[in-house]
Structure 1
Amino acid sequence: MAAQYQAAESQMEKEFTMTKLFTKRFNELEQQLEQIASSKTTSVSQLTGSAGFYVDQNALLNWQIKAKTLLIAVCGESSHQLRSFHAARHVVMGTNYEALIQLRAVFLAVKDDFEGGYLNTLRDLVHAEVFGSELEQAAELLSAGYASAAAVIAGVVLETNVRNLCTDRGIEHGKLDKMNADLTKAGAYNSIQQKRITAMAGIRNAAAHGDTGKFNPSDVKGMIDDVERFLATNLQ
């Protein structure tokens, strides 16, 4: 059972690993963009006859492709952030340096939201994948007769999601019962859901301590179903 618990926690770390990778990529692309901007030169437009700042067009195009890939990953292909990024590329009668300024504004706004935890697309996609597989594993363990291990894994999924809800709402992390109460006070969900989480936590705790007399396989089956419904409500 301890091994199953550790395996569940290990998979939960996937989100944090991916987040670190994308944070690193944001920083790399910000530095690359600043390097392109700093190499600007003055030139006279053949169309308008006026002087303006220009940057290396190939370098800017290369950066745009890489930045677009990152924005798709963290925001989604249909996101308003990506639409804003596309719109920023076009400057009527302007220089490509002016386009760069607009692209930089959009890019840095998305970077700021990502670092502040206001972009949930990536996190929720990872959670849906990880949590789904974990609950499937819990169900398989239960069907194989390992109710305690199944309850522990389902409990890890539940507590991790509750912790992330606290992060979203600026609520301090702590023990599950405290976070559950704080989320209810904050209006994240009602008192009925709070009681369900308390009941699920009770099963998880009993399983973790080997108190098998306090629950049965039907209780664990109901717990897995309740966790799945809770995730369906909150991973949106």
Structure 2
Amino acid sequence: MMQEKFRTRFQELTDSFKEIQFITDGFGFKVSKDGKWQKWATSAENLIRAVFSDNSPHYINFKDQYSQCKRDSLNVEALESIFHSAKEDFEGGYIFNVELRISGEVFGDFIALSRQALSEGQKDVAAVLACAALEDALKRYAEINGLAVDDKTMQDVVNALKSAGLVAGAQKSLLDAMPRIRNFAMHAEWSKISEPDVSSVLGFVEQFLLTKFV
């Protein structure tokens, strides 16, 4: 799982920071004169960005402090503190689900490609892309919420989500029509799929990503 990989990397960087050789300058700051702290900081910045996103306080603060370290005293105590704050919030579960956010970004790319294909008159291509994104998104959402849907049909996944109360209201009603369109697309029954059908799948997936994959 992606979260476990991130957890392992946080620990690796915590351990590698302990191996950096520091001295204390005349102002009492812990500084390092070799390049090892920069190697650590680059990896730490990359990890924090991947976990929390570009707009998170953790990433913004770390990036700002890293820039100051490179310009001025090379004081890395603040960098270490921000890194540990990010590590604690991640391990404590005080952030949005990382796997959902990353999955949402990937599925969003599929949706963009599908919309482009539809705008170019390639209805069938758009239908396959949209339905693939929908089915994968539903399965990923179900799995992350503890439902056993591996090798299940899309209809089974939909039923599992509905039974668990993970979809409701208008989203629940719209979802009922999706397996039919998906089956037409995956079995190349193009004459049974219209452009409005594809648009409805796209609209549903976009709304699903906005509400579930944040």
Give the TM-score of the pair, scaled to structure 2: 0.64
Contact 2:58 2:82 in 1 (8 A): no
Deviations 1:75-123 (A, max 9, x none): 123314336758999xxxxxx7976764563354466479x98224444
Among 24, 31, 37, the residue aligned to 2:18: 37
Matched, 1:155 2:131: yes
Give the corresponding residue for 2:72.
none
Matched, 1:125 2:105: yes
Give the corresponding residue for 1:106.
85
In the aligned structure 2, how far is the partner of 1:201 from the partner of 1:66? 43
Give the corresponding residue for 2:58.
81
Matched, 1:184 2:165: no
In the aligned structure 2, how far is the partner of 1:85 from the partner of 1:98? 11
Tell me how large the CA RMSD over aligned residues is: 4.4
Change (3 A) 1:105 1:158: same
Change (3 A) 1:74 1:97: closer
Partner letter of residue 162 of structure 1?
A: L
Contact 2:162 2:172 in 1 (8 A): yes
Matched, 1:166 2:142: yes
Q: Which runs of 5+ in 1 are unaligned?
A: 1-15, 49-53, 90-95
Contact 2:142 2:161 in 1 (8 A): yes
Change (3 A) 1:140 1:88: closer
Deviations 1:16-37 (A, max 9, x none): 9xx69xx48973x753542341
In the aligned structure 2, how far is the partner of 1:175 from the partner of 1:63? 45
Deviations 1:11-64 (A, max 9, x none): xxxxx9xx69xx48973x7535423414567x788668xxxxx67464335422
Give the corresponding residue for 1:231.
209
In the aligned structure 2, how far is the partner of 1:26 from the partner of 1:85? 20
- Count of aligned pairs: 201
Q: Which runs of 5+ in 2 are unaligned?
A: 67-74
Contact 1:33 1:63 in 2 (8 A): no
Higher-Rg structure is 1
Change (3 A) 1:152 1:86: closer
Give the corresponding residue for 2:184.
206
| Identity %, equivalent residues | 20
Give the TM-score of the pair, scaled to structure 1: 0.60
In the aligned structure 1, how far is the partner of 2:110 from the partner of 2:89? 25
Give the corresponding residue for 1:93.
none
